[in-house]
Structure formats: C-alpha cells, structure tokens
Amino acid sequence: MAKTGRIINLTGAEKKACVRETERHLEEANELKRALIAFSDYVRSRDELLGGDDANDVEDQKARLLDNTEKLERSTRRLESGYKTSVETEKIGFQVLEDLQSQRETLKRARDRLRDQDAELGRSSRILTGMFRRVIENRLLMIFIMVIVLLVIILSIYFIARKS
C-alpha cells in the first residue's frame, strides 16, 4: 500500500518500473492463488481417500487455507488498485505532456510574430526618421528661399526709392 501511494510522485522510468513490479506481483499472487486452490483440492482428495482420520486437523487446515485465501485476495485487490492508479497517472502524464507541447508551439509562434513585428517597427522607425529629416530640410530650404525673396523685395524697394 505504501508503494502505491508513491506511484503518483514518480517520474517516467521509475513509474514504468513500479508498474512492471506491480504486474509481476499480480502474476505471482495469481500463481499463489492457483497453487493454494490446487493444494486445497489435494488435501480434500487425500482426506476422502484416507477417510478423514483427524477431523480437527482438517478443519484447522481448512480455516488456515481460507484465511490465507482471503489475505491473498486482499493483496491481489491492493495490487490491482495500485496498478490502476499507476495507469491513470501515466495517462494524466501523457495528457500533460501533450498540453505542454501544444503550449510550447504556441509560444514559439508568438515569439516569431514578435520578432517579425520588431523588425517591422525598426523599419518603420527608419522611415519616420528619414521623413523627419526631409521635413527639417524642406523647412530650412523654405526659410532660405523666404530670406532670399525678402532680400530681393528689400533691394527692389531700395533701388526704386534711390532712382526717384
């Protein structure tokens, strides 16, 4: 019983070893049960042949035989319960592994999308920086042209006023 409670906490190889051991114990218990039944049949047939001289010994042997059979059946049930628990735990472990694999794939796709978005943001940043530089160049050019136009107007007014 102590081992079956620990099956839940075991990992893959340990769990498989415990399952194999449990199966071996189940087979051993079944063999003992068959041997016990065969022995019981042997005792019964011997008693029939000999005429049952010692009735108390036969009754005592039958009682011990029944007691041992009950112990064997209880042990078999516990082993079967442990085996079922280990099989269920293994199924749950496989489901968890499948879920983790799916989540891993999802995270990989999200990481790839983030990398793509980062590359696009870098490209957009370079484009915006280039546009901002052109805006500044255009403003400086416009200010320079406005200064030249203003100088031409001032010089025109000066030369017109000087001629008059």
- The series of mean pLDDT values per 10 residues for the chain, 164 residues long, is 62 78 84 84 75 66 86 90 90 92 96 96 95 96 97 94 84
Distance CA 26, CA 38 (A): 18
Distance CA 164, CA 82 (A): 120
What pLDDT score does 28 carry? 85
What pLDDT score does 47 carry? 67
Structure tokens at 155: 């010089």
| Residue 53 DSSP code | S
- Check if the beta carbon of residue 73 is closer than 8 Å to that of residue 40: no
Instruction: Report the candidate in 26, 53, 58 with the shortest Cα–Cα distance to residue 42.
Output: 58
What pLDDT score does 1 carry? 47
Structure tokens at 71: 């112990």
